[in-house]
Structure 1
Amino acid sequence: MERTEGTSHTGFHAGSSSARDETRVAAEAARRRVRVMSATLLPTLPPPEPAAVPAARLALKTEGASRGLLDGAWWPRTRDLPSELPALTAVLDTLWGRITRVAVNPEHWPVIPRKVPVGGHVVKVGWFTPEIDPHKLLLLSYGTGRWDLLIIPPETGAESASRLMAAASGHDGPPLTASALIAAEETRYGGTAPVSGVSPEQADRAGPVTETGPADRLLADR
């Protein structure tokens, strides 16, 4: 009697342990199925599209034009130099060779970055005063040349910007410094403030402000 009860008792406990193990295995398998199903049901989102960068507003001298004091004009949209330089140098890289250095006078630029990433490389930025005209941008391409652009104030109206660009990129170019050119526009036409009734969208389309033709003859760095 005692052996039978002992055997029966042992068998009962063994069976209970095996049932618990099977329950744990089944529960773990169920959890794995839930995780797999959850991962499968999650929607796949497309990668975010990069924000479109507005094209640089430029007017450049054509080949064969006399260099003069300026190689063209640039009309930035803001005074945020870190945001404006990438679009400008990306265009000029294809025309003049890779731009490696840029220099400005800090008078009209609240923030001047030391470096700006452009198309897989870095453009170093410097500032000088009084060596550089406040309305001029100096660009260097290593081993290729140097160029000087008139900087048209961002708030300038479309008509004034068009005249300034035409003057700075003309065949012979005006015998004026960048600041003198701005001053002449203000004296003759009453300033470079936005023209009444012209929206920013209209100003962007005003011509001739989108020329990006071949640059002036390449010159060794002065």
Structure 2
Amino acid sequence: MTATFQAPLPRPAPVAAPPARLTLKPDGPSRGLLDGAWWPRSRDLLRELPVLTDALDTVWGRITRIAVNPEHWPVIPHKVPVNGHVVKTGWFTPEMDPHKLLLLSYGTGRWDLLVIPPETDAESAARLMAAASDYDGPALTASLLLTADRAGHAASTAHRPADPNETWEYEGGTCAASSAVRSKARVASRLIIGM
């Protein structure tokens, strides 16, 4: 009997996952109902949670448990492997805001993040991340913050003039781009990753 040996196929190098799109409130006593915002790239928790917990482990300590509302997540795994440890995941339907993620860490505490839907455009996501990581607020739940942003953005774009000269007057003598930069500069977030 003869045996045939084939050379093993080369293993492709692992592709690094893109960084988590995340912003957190600055250090200090937490105010408001949220501690920051997370903008996942998909609704796949097995793919998204390891990237998120990797980013947070160095800031908040090892994340051990995560809870979500299943309304926007098609599959909720019971455990997610993350760099040498396992994060347990669970879900709560009536008790938990569908646009919030609850994170627990060994002896360090609890954090609530706004979950910005993956299909959100970059401009809206930036506004939501800034609002959720603002030191003094927001005093809104995650779902109310999303609703307020959608309503406010729809109202502001409906009344915005199309002529550049009118825009100059509408913005108070400044261009829209500089106004956006100033509003982002006011946010003193502790951490912004992947934007």
Same fold flag (TM > 0.5): yes
- Cα deviation per residue 1:15-40 (whole Å; 9 max; x = unaligned)? xxxxxxxxxxxxxxxx9xxx9xx98x
Give the match's secondary structure for 2:191: coil
1 CA distance for matches of 2:154 and 2:67?
A: 29
Q: Cα gap change, 1:62/1:96 in structure 2, threshold over 3 Å: closer, same or farther?
A: same
Contact 1:65 1:172 in 2 (8 A): no
Of residues 152, 156, 177 in structure 1, which corresponds to 2:116? 152
Give the match's secondary structure for 1:190: helix
What's the offset of the Cα at 1:62?
1.0
The 5 Å alignment of 1:24-35 reads none
Letter in 2 for 1:49: A
- Cα deviation per residue 1:118-139 (whole Å; 9 max; x = unaligned)? 0000000000011110000000
Contact 2:66 2:101 in 1 (8 A): yes
Which residue of structure 2 lines up, in the alignment, with residue 112 of structure 1? 76
Which residue of structure 1 lines up, in the alignment, with residue 191 of structure 2? 213
Contact 2:22 2:191 in 1 (8 A): no
- Calculate percent identity across the aligned residue pairs: 69
More helix by share: 1
Unaligned runs of 5+ in 2: 156-180
Q: Cα gap change, 1:44/1:143 in structure 2, threshold over 3 Å: closer, same or farther?
A: same
Larger Rg: 1
Q: Cα gap change, 1:55/1:133 in structure 2, threshold over 3 Å: closer, same or farther?
A: same
Of residues 127, 143, 149 in structure 1, which corresponds to 2:107? 143
2 CA distance for matches of 1:72 and 1:54?
A: 19
Letter in 2 for 1:55: P
What's the offset of the Cα at 1:60?
0.5
The 5 Å alignment of 1:9-28 reads none
1 CA distance for matches of 2:91 and 2:66?
A: 8
Of residues 132, 146, 158 in structure 2, which corresponds to 1:168? 132
Letter in 2 for 1:82: L
Which residue of structure 1 lines up, in the alignment, with residue 154 of structure 2? 190
Which residue of structure 2 lines up, in the alignment, with residue 91 of structure 1? 55
Which residue of structure 2 lines up, in the alignment, with residue 218 of structure 1? none
- Cα deviation per residue 1:36-78 (whole Å; 9 max; x = unaligned)? xx98xx8787543112111100010111264320000000011
What's the offset of the Cα at 1:142?
1.8
CA-atom RMSD in angstroms: 2.4
